[in-house]
Amino acid sequence: MPRIRVADLLKSKGSSGPVKVSGWVRTLRAGKDVAFIALSDGSTLAPLQVVAESSLPGFAGICRIATGSAVTITGTLRESPAQGQPVELAADNVEVVGSADESYPLQKKRHTFEYLRTIAHLRPRSNTFGAVFRLRSSLAHAVHRFFEERRFLYVHTPIITASDCEGAGEMFRVTTLDPLVPPVIDGAVDFSSDFFAQPASLTVSGQLEGELFAQAFRDIYTFGPTFRAENSNTTRHASEFWMIEPEMAFADLIDDARLAEEFFRYLCRHVLENCAEDMAFFDSQIEKGLLERVRKVADSPFEMMEYSEAIRYLEKAPVPFQFPVSWGLDLQSEHERYITEQIVQGPVFLTNYPKEIKAFYMRQNDDNRTVAAMDLLVPKVGEIIGGSQREERLDLLTLKMNDSGVDTKALWWYLDSRRWGSTPHAGFGLGFERLIMYLTGMENIRDVIPFPRTPRHAEF
C-alpha cells in the first residue's frame, strides 16, 4: 500500500479500499468499547481521527499507546458520525513503530514557548511549531518563485569571506589555528599560516558579491544564511539567520522600492492563499486580527515619504518619545512605528536619509547631505526592509570608503565593479525570520528558526 499523508486523507471524502497512514500520536482517548487516536504527521495542522473498536486484536494494548508514539495504521476512511472532523479512519490494524513512554516531554497540554525552546528537537511536533515551519518552508519556495518569475538570477554568495569590513557588524572568525598556541609574529597572530592565509570570517551580508553579479546578469538575488557575532539579546536578533538580497543593475531607488513593494505583497498573498489553515491558526491562537492586518498590506499600495518629512511629523507629534528627534539623527523604532502606525497607518517607504547615518555604499544625492536609501516600515514591527541605490561613481565611492574607514585595498574587487562598465544599481535586504514573524504574529525570532543560535545558545 502506498504511503499516504494525513493532509491528503483529510481532503478526501472517503476511501473505497484500505489505506495505510503513519504518524505520531497526539492524544489517545480510550473507552471500554472504542478508542480514539489523534494522529499527526506534520503534513497539516488538523490531526486525523483514528477509531479503534474493541473487537480489534490487541485492543487493550492499543489503549495503552502513549502520546508521542509513532504508529502505522491501516484501515478504511469514512465519514465521521460525530462532529469535529469530516472523515475518520476506521482501523483494521494498529502497529506501534516506535513507542513512547510517559516521560515524553511534549504532553497534551499547553506549554510555554520558553519551555518548548528547551526541547527544540521535539517542538516541531506541536501545533504552533508545526504551523510555523510549514509556513517557513512554503514561504521560502515563494521567495524563489517570485524572483524566478521575474527572471532574477539566483546567486550563491560565499559564506566564508575574507573581507573584514562589510560594514554590518561583528563577525565570527573562521580559523584552523590552534587557539592554545596560535603562531605569533611580533606580538600579533600570524594569519599567513592559517587555512586561508589571511583572517577569514562568516559572512554578514551577500550584498557586495551580489552587486558584482548584478553587473553581469542585471537582476540577481541571494537567499542564504548570514552570521552576526553581536551580543544581542532581543526577540528579533539571532546569531545565524537567513537574508534575502536582490540587486538590480540599470535601476534607481524608485525601481528598488517598486520591487520591494511587489515582493512584500506577493509574499503576503502567498501565505494567505497557500497557508490558509495555518494562518487561521495563527489568527486565532497567536495574534488576534493577524489575517486582517496581512490582508490590508496585501491589498493597499505603499506610501513613500522622505526622511526630512518624517522628521517634521515626529517633531510635531503630540506623543512623548524616549529618544530625541531632529534632522540628522537616526530614527529609533518608536519613531518608525509612530510614522507607519499613526501617520500613514500602513506600509511606507522612508527615503533619502542623512548620509552620516547610512552605510558607505549608498548613493549620494545631489543635495550632498542625503543618500538614496529606502526603508520599508510596516505597522507592528517598524523597519522590515532596508535598501538603497548604490554609489556607482568610483571617485565618490572611494572618498566615502576612506571617510568611513573602510579598507579600499581589501575591497579592490568591489571598487573594480565601478571601474569598468559601472551602472546605476539598487537593491535591498530582507531578514527572512523577521518576515516570518510579521506573517505569523510570532513575537520571538527564536521561535521561527528550527534550531536558533543566539549568544550562549548553540544546542541541537
Residue 294 C-alpha from the chain's centroid: 16
Name the residue nearer to RNA (CB basis): 70 or 394.
Answer: 70
DSSP assigned state of 234:
S
- Tell me how crowded residue 330 is: count the other CB atoms within 10 A of its CB: 12
Minimum separation from the CB atom of position 43 to RNA (A): 18
Name the residue nearer to RNA (CB basis): 230 or 309.
Answer: 230
Q: In this structure, are residues 127 and 192 in contact, taking their beta carbons and an 8 Å threshold?
A: no
Question: Residue 382: which H helix or E strand, with range?
Answer: strand 382-389
| Burial zone of 54 (CB within 10 Å; 0-12 exposed, 13-18 middle, 19+ buried) | middle
Minimum separation from the CB atom of position 415 to RNA (A): 21
Name the residue nearer to RNA (CB basis): 104 or 146.
Answer: 104
88 grid coordinates: 475518520
Q: How far apart are CA 250 and CA 363, in angstroms?
A: 14
Interface ranges with RNA (CB under 7 A): 27, 29-34, 36, 38, 49, 51, 64, 66-67, 80-85, 88, 90, 102, 105, 107-112, 114-115, 117, 168-169, 205, 228, 230-239, 241, 243, 323, 330, 332-334, 382-386, 429-431, 433-434, 443-446, 456-457
Minimum separation from the CB atom of position 63 to RNA (A): 8
Minimum separation from the CB atom of position 227 to RNA (A): 9
Name the residue nearer to RNA (CB basis): 159 or 394.
Answer: 159
CA geometry: angle at 43 spanning 38 and 49, to 5°?
A: 20
Name the residue nearer to RNA (CB basis): 220 or 238.
Answer: 238
List, in sequence order, every beta strand (DSSP E) within 114-206. 153-154, 160-161, 173-174, 184-185, 188-189, 200-202
Q: How far apart are CA 119 and CA 460, in angstroms?
A: 9
Minimum separation from the CB atom of position 32 to RNA (A): 5
DSSP assigned state of 440:
H
Minimum separation from the CB atom of position 288 to RNA (A): 16
Q: In this structure, are residues 23 and 9 in contact, taking their beta carbons and an 8 Å threshold?
A: no
Minimum separation from the CB atom of position 197 to RNA (A): 29
Minimum separation from the CB atom of position 404 to RNA (A): 12
Q: In this structure, are residues 393 and 205 in contact, taking their beta carbons and an 8 Å threshold?
A: no
Q: Phi and psi for 434 in degrees, rounded to 5?
A: -70, -35
Name the residue nearer to RNA (CB basis): 270 or 337.
Answer: 337
Name the residue nearer to RNA (CB basis): 30 or 189.
Answer: 30
Q: Provide the residue type at 186 as one letter.
A: D
Q: Provide the residue type at 221 as one letter.
A: Y
Name the residue nearer to RNA (CB basis): 191 or 206.
Answer: 206
Name the residue nearer to RNA (CB basis): 250 or 327.
Answer: 327
Q: How far apart are CA 310 and CA 261, in angstroms?
A: 19
Q: How far apart are CA 93 and CA 66, in angstroms?
A: 17
Minimum separation from the CB atom of position 39 to RNA (A): 12
